[in-house]
Structure 1
Amino acid sequence: MITTTFGALLKEIRKTNNMTQVETCKDICSLRQYVRIENNTSEPSMYLVQLLSHRLNYDLIAYYKLIYCDQTLQANTIKTEADVLIKGGQYDDLEKLINRFENYPEFKKGENLQFIYYYKSLCAHSKKDYNQAVQYCINGLHIEDPSFSKNRLYGKISSSIGLNLYHNLGCYLNELGKLDLSIDIWNKILIDIEKKVALNFSYYQSSIEFVKQLYLSTSYNMGTQKTILKEYRMALSYFDKGIVFANKHNCSYYLTNIVRQKMRVLYTLNRYEEARASYDICMGLYLLQGDTKELRSCEQIMKEDYPELLKIKMYD
């Protein structure tokens, strides 16, 4: 689809779905407002774009970002710089960067403002101020769905930055000891991704790789928390969900961690042959990744912590 405006894209997607303007905007906004958006005389809110994405089963948010959020080279440059600082764990520098640019016009609304709250939540977390980190996540999610609040932790969230905030919200609540809430949030992320991926990959458009990775890291978090609670069979079910999803959708992100944690749980349950099989798969993944450091570490851990595995010879 070659379009130059958001309205033109919206019109084309609507026609592809054989929908009228009235059908498209029903229970979302007035026909007058919708027509103004298609005619590019009115800029839609992030929330309205979110609802239209659900209605049309298309990731309009990606184009909303392109057209309304990334209008300047400066915005992209700042977010790229922030990503580098996050990867390096340089949260003091990230906070300084935020203080410099959060009042720029392009970061005052929509997805760019969500990024501000995402960065602030990471900085608060680095200071172990988990309550503040939670509030920043809620503020960012509220931009995508105004019904989202501390009293209502569920909503229509599907943008990459929104899902990131939602996942992190579960992590921060977990660190506050609110495990039930965090598990509920992570479970909703898994279910939502499963439904959308099963229906149509195009819904996520360019963010599909991120969504795959989010599914695997979330299934790992769920399995790990169930392991801590000694709910071992439930833990295995989440690890297996991640493994099946990874194989089906060709995504190895976090897969080694999942398999390794599964091995530990199987060993705890005295299912040594299955644990040894998981161990061998884990070692194979390390070899494929060229991660010899972790491979040697895993070998040493097996000798020290999982002696029963040494007694099992899987192959002649």
Structure 2
Amino acid sequence: MIIITVRSFGDLLINLRTKNHLTKKDLATFIGYTPKQLHRIEKNECIPSMDLVIQLSEFYKINLLQYYKILINDICLDSYMQFSKLRNAIEKADYSLVEILYREYEQLPSFSTGENLKLIYYAKALCCLINKKYEKSLKYCIQGLDYNNIDEIFINISLEKIYSHTTYNLISCIGYSFYFLGETKKYETIMLTLYNNITNHFFSDSYIECLNSKFIFRLYSTILNNLSDLNIKKKEYSIALDFIEKAIKYSTEKGSGLGILDSFYFTKFQCHYYLKQFKEASRSLDYCLTLSMIFKKKMDARHRITSLRITYPNIVDYLKLDELLKRHNLS
């Protein structure tokens, strides 16, 4: 417990640093910032990003988020509300609203640095990705991560702990851009690196309460599904099955990403089908269609049924497909 006798968040950070007998240079080395950046934050010349607050929370073993909320001023609160509004628009896939908001917010001083600026770049990259402007999407991702080129990203994401949700999203967006550009190997490298980063750091972390675990589990499950898809294309069906079973496990146990669980079970169906495990394939397809109905995704279910008959012309010989479709009113 810290008794607050300071008037600003910057004063609190100075108090913590001096009590731990650290210079700005010492602390900057530990957390990957520059002394100049720390000086500006301690002097309240710029708003610390949530990324930095989480890193310092872990470093000092104190939940600084509560003090951040107490000590922020009205401008910070407005910025937080705007940040949340843009992030919610992204999560709802309302890309028209995303574009309106990022164009408005990028003009504001509070969105010129830190996590807020990262979110602006991610919003721009995502809109480009949706509009099939993949090279431009990559450019915005690189700018959002504050690197000069793509090589720096491949080096750093394998070495650094990542605390920022937006950083994870930017790196994922890079992967998807590469995928649509036909750079499958780079896409796989990105997905595997994110998978290893989360596995090695997040799940072993003693201070995970600072992170939104629902976000991490949803991201982790999606990455696992992507890796499963990649291994299906490589005809590594057993490896693909391991990945997708992990994805389903984390989605169901943690209650994150349940709305896309139907697609996970469809991937699992493919793995079992190619492994000639037709009883298990039928069960996975049944779960897929059931979840599609629960989450009111009947059109998705019909699309999958159409693709089933085209992609797997002999499926009726192996699965009781007509019976399955009749049970779900899809025949």
What TM-score comes out, normalization by structure 1 length? 0.75
Which deviates more from structure 2 when the two are superposed, residues 299-308 or residues 130-139?
299-308
- Contact 1:61/1:159, CA 8 A, preserved across alignment: no
1:170-190 Cα shifts (integer Å, max 9, x gaps): 111111122122111111222
Which residue among 173, 182, 197 is the counterpart of 2:178? 173
**Match runs of 1:19-58 below 5 Å:** 20-22=20-22, 25=27, 27-28=29-30, 46=49, 52=56, 55-56=59-60
Say if 1:33 and 1:50 are closer, same or farther in 2 by CA, change over 3 A: farther
Aligned residues: 305
- Contact 1:222/1:238, CA 8 A, preserved across alignment: yes
Which residue among 172, 195, 198 is the counterpart of 1:193? 198
Query: Where does the alignment leave 5 or more consecutive residues of structure 2 unmatched?
Result: 325-331
Query: d(CA) in 1 for partners of 2:217 and 2:141?
Result: 21
Query: d(CA) in 1 for partners of 2:235 and 2:66?
Result: 41
Please name the residue that 1:271 is paired with. Answer: 277
Say if 1:59 and 1:247 are closer, same or farther in 2 by CA, change over 3 A: farther
- Contact 1:53/1:60, CA 8 A, preserved across alignment: yes
Secondary structure (helix, strand or coil) at the match of 1:230 reads coil
Residue 244 in structure 1 maps to residue 244 in structure 2: no
Say if 1:298 and 1:99 are closer, same or farther in 2 by CA, change over 3 A: closer
Please name the residue that 2:320 is paired with. Answer: 310
Which deviates more from structure 2 when the two are superposed, residues 251-260 or residues 26-35?
26-35
Please name the residue that 2:126 is paired with. Answer: 122
Q: In the alignment, residue 169 of structure 2 is paired with which amino acid?
A: N
Query: d(CA) in 2 for partners of 1:303 and 1:179?
Result: 24
- Contact 1:62/1:206, CA 8 A, preserved across alignment: no
Aligned residues: percent identity? 24
Query: d(CA) in 2 for partners of 1:38 and 1:90?
Result: 33
Q: CA deviation at 1:250?
A: 3.9
Say if 1:249 and 1:189 are closer, same or farther in 2 by CA, change over 3 A: same
Please name the residue that 2:76 is paired with. Answer: 71
Please name the residue that 2:102 is paired with. Answer: 98
1:6-29 Cα shifts (integer Å, max 9, x gaps): 4577589889xxx93439827337
- Contact 1:58/1:204, CA 8 A, preserved across alignment: no
- Contact 2:231/2:240, CA 8 A, preserved across alignment: yes
Secondary structure (helix, strand or coil) at the match of 1:22 reads coil
Which deviates more from structure 2 when the two are superposed, residues 219-228 or residues 70-79?
70-79
Say if 1:285 and 1:32 are closer, same or farther in 2 by CA, change over 3 A: closer
Say if 1:275 and 1:133 are closer, same or farther in 2 by CA, change over 3 A: same
Please name the residue that 2:328 is paired with. Answer: none
Query: Where does the alignment leave 5 or more consecutive residues of structure 1 unmatched?
Result: none
Query: d(CA) in 2 for partners of 1:74 and 1:262?
Result: 42
Residue 109 in structure 1 maps to residue 113 in structure 2: yes
Say if 1:301 and 1:5 are closer, same or farther in 2 by CA, change over 3 A: farther
RMSD: 4.4
Say if 1:76 and 1:251 are closer, same or farther in 2 by CA, change over 3 A: closer
**Match runs of 1:291-302 below 5 Å:** 291=296, 293=298, 297=302, 300=305
1:146-198 Cα shifts (integer Å, max 9, x gaps): 6x741122333321111111111111111112212211111122222223343
Query: d(CA) in 2 for partners of 1:312 and 1:111?
Result: 51
Say if 1:149 and 1:68 are closer, same or farther in 2 by CA, change over 3 A: farther
1:232-288 Cα shifts (integer Å, max 9, x gaps): 22222211221232344343533221111110221122211221222233344446x
Please name the residue that 1:208 is paired with. Answer: 213
Query: d(CA) in 1 for partners of 2:38 and 2:87?
Result: 37
Q: In the alignment, residue 28 of structure 1 is paired with which amino acid?
A: F
- Contact 2:125/2:138, CA 8 A, preserved across alignment: yes
Query: d(CA) in 2 for partners of 1:83 and 1:35?
Result: 30
- Contact 1:137/1:166, CA 8 A, preserved across alignment: yes
1:178-219 Cα shifts (integer Å, max 9, x gaps): 212211111122222223343247425352111111111111
Bigger relative contact order, structure 1 or 2, given CA contacts below 8 A and separation 6+? 1
Q: In the alignment, residue 227 of structure 2 is paired with which amino acid?
A: M
